[in-house]
Amino acid sequence: MDPGTPVRHSKHMDRTNLADFLRTRREALQPDDVGLPRGQRRRTPGLRREEVAVLCGMSTDYYSRIERGRGPQPSEPMIAAIARGLRLTLDERDHLFVLAGHSAPARVSRNEHVNAGMMRILDRLEDTPAQVVTGTGETIVQTRLATALLGDQTQFTGPARSIIYRWFTDPAERAMYLQDDHSVHSRVYVAQLRTVAAREGSRSRAATLAEELKRESSEFETLWDKHEVGVLFTNRKRILHPKVGLISVHCQTLVDPDQAQSLLVFTAAPGTADHNKLQLLAVIGSQLLESETGG
């Protein structure tokens, strides 16, 4: 993640307490807590700064400067990333925002924060395609194999962060799935968005997204007017991958009601062609990562 251009804020950033809080939370985390190998004898209590930086998706230098009280004021997205990387509880996340000079996000719209327990599960799925998504279809975090299977779904900004929005506005999103499955995807996404909008209210992100889609997609508007709810995917997804071709996976969902998020886990039965394709994607994904990082 790129820190980007510093943004001015009127609230005071408590550099000293922010640095101390980050350090204590880092030292309280063990490699096992985040799915990392313990390796040789460690001189540093808890995780190293470079390990936390990787978990947060930012450079070691950027994170280290903040922890040492020398960095610029982090933006709200950067603080949210640090909260996820350090596996903070919701109360700890709110405290981190305040120390950094920001207002704590409203609890009713806390979709950016992933529950620490869900993150621990995700940490143990590094060799499996898995990702955490919000009710509006925004992917917050993915395992490396999920990125290899589905592409980097965390890179989008604005309404396009939602797979529901992309489904009705970006042909590339539909190209990932068989034509025969498109109508089902459309109905499920509309029903999902309607449920979230009803639960969170007319001023919610879900309701705003629905209004935008009604203006931009006649298909969405037609389906929205049918008032369908409770339309669900089967647990089997057929994906057209540019490297390995058609791959059929089982999608299991773990829902966190408190956070209105879901952990999606994609698997294939061992010994099948689909399982072999997932293993091939693991190799391809590692090679791409090494080429991007110069490893």
**Higher per-residue confidence, 93 vs 295:** 93
Mean pLDDT, residues 183-192? 95
Which strands form 261-267's sheet, in the order they lie side by side?
139-142, 130-134, 261-267, 245-256, 236-241
Residue with tokens 């120390």: 99
Query: CATH number for the 117-293 domain, one of 1.10.10.60, 3.40.50.300, 3.30.450.180, 3.20.20.150?
Result: 3.30.450.180
Give residue 261's Cα distance to chain centre. 10
- CB atoms closer than 10 angstroms to residue 32: 12
d(CA 111, CA 113): 6
Is residue 35 over pLDDT 80?
no
**Higher per-residue confidence, 108 vs 142:** 142
pLDDT band at 71 (very low <50, low <70, confident <90, very high): confident
Mean pLDDT, residues 85-90? 87
How big is the chain by its Cα radius of gyration, in Å? 20
Is residue 62 over pLDDT 60?
yes
Mean pLDDT, residues 257-275? 89
Average pLDDT, the chain: 86
pLDDT tens figures, 7-28: 334 468 888 889 989 999 999 8
Q: Report whether 86 contacts 29 (CB < 8 A).
A: yes
Report in angstroms the alpha-carbon separations of 150 from 42, 86, 175, 185, 218.
36, 25, 11, 15, 26
Global pTM reads 0.71
Query: Per-domain residue ranges for the chain?
Result: 15-106, 117-293
d(CA 164, CA 126): 26
Lowest model confidence (mean pLDDT) among 183-192, 206-215, 218-227, 283-292 = 283-292
Q: Report whether 133 contacts 192 (CB < 8 A).
A: no
Helix (H, G, I), strand (E, B) or coil at 69: coil
Lowest model confidence (mean pLDDT) among 102-111, 115-124, 201-210, 223-232 = 102-111
pLDDT tens figures, 121-170: 998 898 899 999 999 999 999 999 999 999 999 999 999 999 999 999 99
Mean pLDDT, residues 167-184? 96
Provide the percentage of residues in the chain whose pLDDT is more than 70.
Answer: 88
Mean pLDDT, residues 219-244? 91
d(CA 41, CA 22): 23
Is residue 4 over pLDDT 80?
no
Residue 221 tokens read as 């508007």
Domain spanning 15-106 has what CATH number?
Answer: 1.10.260.40
Which residues, at least 6 apart from 9, have a Cβ–Cβ distance to it below 8 Å?
Answer: 73, 101, 102
Report in angstroms the alpha-carbon separations of 119 from 29, 77, 95, 252.
13, 18, 19, 16
d(CA 149, CA 267): 11
First-to-last alpha carbon distance for the chain, in angstroms, is 18
**Higher per-residue confidence, 90 vs 157:** 157
Is residue 1 over pLDDT 70?
no
Report in angstroms the alpha-carbon separations of 8 from 46, 78, 160.
33, 14, 26
pLDDT of amino acid 137: 94
The full DSSP string for 118-179 is: HHHHHHTTTTS-EEEEETT-BEEEE-HHHHHHH--TTS--GGGGBHHHHHHH-HHHHTTB-G
